[in-house]
Structure 1
Amino acid sequence: MHSVLNRGRLWLRVILYMLVFCPLNSKAQKTNAEIVLTNRPLNEKSNEFYIANVVDERPDRSAVAWLLPAPGNLPAVKYKVDLQGGTATAVKQFADYAIPVNKTLRPVAIRIKKLKLTETAMADGRVEGRLEIQLWFELKRDEGNVHLIDYPAASTYYRSTGQQYDTGILVSRALEAGLVYFNRWMNREVDTNIKLAKGVKLIFTDYSEQPEGDTIYYSANRPLTWNDFQEKPRSGKYVAEVLPSFGYTEKVEVVKSVVVVRISMRVFLPKSAAWVKQEGRNSYALNHEQRHFDIVAIVARHFKQALMDMKLPADNYDGYINVQYLDSYREMNQLQEQYDNETSHGTNQYYQQEWNTKIDGLLKN
């Protein structure tokens, strides 16, 4: 009866291509000088996150840019240039200026998968520069980071051989565009994306079926009758048998950053698996079988209460629910076995009355 909710995962990828034509800038990149980023706050305030750390995961971390020198500078081969202070450090400082650190918000990590600027000499005498960037944004959690989205983009510019392009401004704008993109994504997704949820709320209901079919769903107002025993009687020393159990179904939605889990409890007994011999059709035997059903209802309540007492993590609430279900299922089997052993399957009237009293008390509580 336990159904598993499959939740789709959100993968959002946007590739931006920008063709940029820029004249000579007075703050042009100097040959062999480090690239200096332009640190400034974002125009759009971040209310949901801060950048906790930056990790450089580029395959080649020796430099950020491979540039061509100005005419007359020999040898005319590309030279490597890195960000001032190192790539991860510079990007973290840039992010902290853009989005002030507020540790009351969600901590986000940036993984730099690609940040590469390459200049190429063209046949018409110009130089083409191409910047490629790919950032992964992850939500930091104690159990491990959760990937949110990635931001891939590319920019292209052209210059004459007598000019130098301000690579610091170019890289700064690319990083700023990535932060703006992620900030807007967060603002759009924060209320409804399960990856960003901050808490879990459980809502329990008891399932019922109208009209009633082969399956009986437990209700205090619906006790068993001998008409429910529809399976052909089996041979052996026992006069009757029922096979009750319990399960649940889930419906999940995220409301204002809270995972709302609606759990429909199902304490059930199939009529097609219940049987009775003719000589066993009496009120005493029926009570014994009813108590088997009652025990399952009590265990289902234990299952519910155990979950209500937990502080479920938003990123793994279903794992806790599944483990508790298995624990409660074992409890059900153990109690059923204990009940039959102590009452000798209902033939010991003294212990049957003891269990009747015990079960009645648990049902009231």
Structure 2
Amino acid sequence: MLAFLFTFFFSLQRLLTAAPEKPLVLQAAPLPVANPLFSVGAVRDERPGRPAVAWLLTPTSAMVQPVELQGGTEAALRQFAARSLPAASARYRVTVRVLECRVQEVAAANRQAAGQLTVRLAFDWQNPEGRTHTLTEYRSGARYQRPLTDRTAVEAALQQNLQGALRYLQQWLTKAVKQDARLATAVRPTFSYDIHQTEQDTVFYDPNRPLTWADFTGSPRSKGKYAAAVYSSFAYQGWPRLNNGVIDLNIRLKVFMVRSSSWVAPEQRTAYNLNHEQRHFDITRLIVERYRRKATPDSLTVDDFNSILGWQYLKSFTEMNHLQDQYDQETHGGTDAAAQQRWNRRIDAELAAALR
């Protein structure tokens, strides 16, 4: 009985102190793409408890043993990606999150092991403004059968499935970069002015089409210090379109005056007064040009370009009202000819610079 117990405890001690199984080695599997759209910047193992990747049968034991990837899961997958992808710089530097990666074996006939592999990865990307997007997930699996003495099938199954993950992400990005705004890396605004006279009650600003008194159709004010008044304002419309990872933003600017809100008093239809009102219209055009110059690619973020444009619009609208008031105050509503000449020169100079 004592001999039996001694043998049992000796065997148990050998089992508990047995050398751990050699780690699995991932060989590189080059992606057949000369210039991939992505590189792998980091790998995060998010499996609960971060267990060993594989639970394998060994030739000397009827029980499965934990077997890790060489260097650990994160390091092994990061190295696998680095060696499998070309060294060329890529547009998207992604983080791979390991949600599931497990090989589980059971005994099969003729001293064989039957294994099942399950892989689930998530791919994250941080855009230029620092916002992280989960782009897509990859799920795959495989079954195999191997001799207990040969682990080649295990390493091959892992290699093929992880190569499949890299190939999947490249294919996904190739399609998504044309339509998924999350992948935008920059905003490229272009501007155009609406000058077509298509509305009965609206005159759009056109340098080649100055105002005439016929454009002032509103009822004259019975009392007041002004000989005429022009109601001018501006608006914009934007059409974003994703083009190879860049948001092409076509912005249509509208500088206009409203005929029915603009008027001239009787006996005041002089060239001098019309010039004064034209200069109000010119000031509106100049403010819009300043607004356009503020909306640069550096000032517009891919996440919030609409809000930025809207905020700049409100600031420019306030600037317009302030400048219009200053113009009227300094020219005394156009009655100070010397001040009017100074403003004419100032406006002409800025218009010439804007329209070059």
TM range (shorter): 0.7 to 0.9
Counterpart of 1:84, as a letter, is: Q
Query: Within 2, Cα distance between the matches of 1:218 and 1:187?
Result: 43
Shift of 1:262: 2.7
Structure label with greater radius of gyration: 2
Q: 1:84 aligned to 2:70?
A: yes
Q: How does 1:113-124 map to 2 (within 5 A)?
A: 113-117=98-102, 119=104
* Residue identity in the other structure for 2:232: P
Structure 1 unaligned residues grouped into runs of 5+: 1-29
2:120 is matched with 133
- Normalising by the residue count of structure 2, what TM-score does the alignment of the two structures yield? 0.75
State the partner residue of 2:8. none
- 1:228 maps onto 2:236 in alignment: no
CA distance in 2, matches of 1:113, 1:321: 39
Partner of 1:209: 196
Partner residue, 1:54:
42
C-alpha displacement at 1:98, in angstroms?
Answer: 0.4
> In 1, Cα distance between the equivalents of 2:40 and 2:328?
58
Distance (whole Å) between structure 2 residues aligned to residue 257 and residue 72 of structure 1: 55
In structure 2, do the counterparts of structure 1 residues 48 and 317 end up closer, same or farther at CA, with 3 Å as the change threshold?
A: farther
Q: TM-score, normalised by structure 1?
A: 0.73
For 1:358 and 1:334, how far apart are their aligned partners in 2?
16
- What is the SS of the residue equivalent to 2:334? coil
Alpha-carbon deviation of 1:336?
1.1
Separation in 1 of the partners of 2:173 and 2:207?
48
1:89-128 correspondence runs (5 A) = 89-102=75-88, 104-117=89-102, 119=104
- Residue 360 in 1 paired to residue 338 in 2? no
Superposition misfits of 4+ residues, deviation over 6 angstroms: 160-165
CA RMSD for the aligned pairs? 3.9
Aligned residue among 338, 341, 353 for 1:350? 338
Q: Deviations over 1:33-84 (max 9, x none)?
A: 365242224241341445242231515142143637569947x6x7544333
CA separation in 1, counterparts of 2:178 and 2:255?
A: 34
Q: What's the counterpart of residue 157 of structure 1? A: 143
**Cα 1:361–1:51, aligned 2, differ >3 Å: closer, same or farther?**
closer
CA contact (8 A) 2:191 2:251 kept: yes
Alignment-mate amino acid for residue 62 of structure 1: R
Q: Deviations over 1:122-167 (max 9, x none)?
A: 9x9x9673513122142x5553255373132131426599798743
| Map of 1:143 onto structure 2 | 129
Letter in 1 for 2:33: K
RCO (CA 8 Å, sep 6+): is it higher in 1 or 2?
Answer: 1
Q: Do the aligned partners of residues 341 and 57 (structure 1) sit closer, same or farther apart at CA in structure 2, a change above 3 Å counting? A: farther
1:330 pairs with 2:318: yes
Q: Does 1:264 align with 2:262?
A: no
Is the CA contact (8 Å cut-off) linking 1:303 and 1:325 kept in structure 2?
yes
C-alpha distance in structure 1 between counterparts of 2:245 and 2:128, whole Å: 18
Check 1:249–1:43 CA distance in 2 against 1; reply closer, same or farther (3 A cut). same
Query: What residue number does 1:249 align with?
Result: 237
Pairwise CA distance, 1:253 = 3.5
How far 1:291 sits from its partner (Å)? 1.2
SS of aligned partner of 1:222: coil
SS in 1 for 2:251: strand
Q: 1:357 to 1:158 in 2, by over 3 A?
A: closer
How far is the alpha carbon of 1:200 from its aligned partner? 5.3
Equivalent in the alignment of 2:26: 38
How far does residue 213 in structure 1 lie from its aligned partner after superposition? 2.1
* Structure 1 residues 36 and 326: CA distance shift in structure 2, 3 A: farther
Q: AA paired with 1:182?
A: L
Secondary structure at the residue paired with 1:62?
coil
Q: 1:299/1:186 Cα in 2 relative to 1: closer, same or farther (>3 Å)?
A: same
Partner SS, residue 333 of structure 2: coil
CA contact (8 A) 1:63 1:81 kept: no
Which has the larger share of helix? 2
Name 1:168's counterpart in structure 2.
155
Seen in structure 2, the aligned counterparts of structure 1 residues 311 and 160 have a Cα distance that, compared at 3 Å, is closer
For residues 223 and 259 of structure 1, what CA distance do their matches in structure 2 show?
35
* Cα pair 1:217 1:268 within 8 Å, conserved: yes
Equivalenced residue count is 331
Taking a change above 3 Å as real, the CA distance of residues 118 and 41 of structure 1, as seen in their structure-2 partners, is closer
Give the direction of change, closer, same or farther, for the CA distance of 1:161–1:305 in structure 2 (3 Å limit).
closer
Return the offset for 1:188.
Answer: 4.7
Instruction: Give % identity.
Output: 28
Residue 294 of structure 1: how far off its partner (Å):
0.6
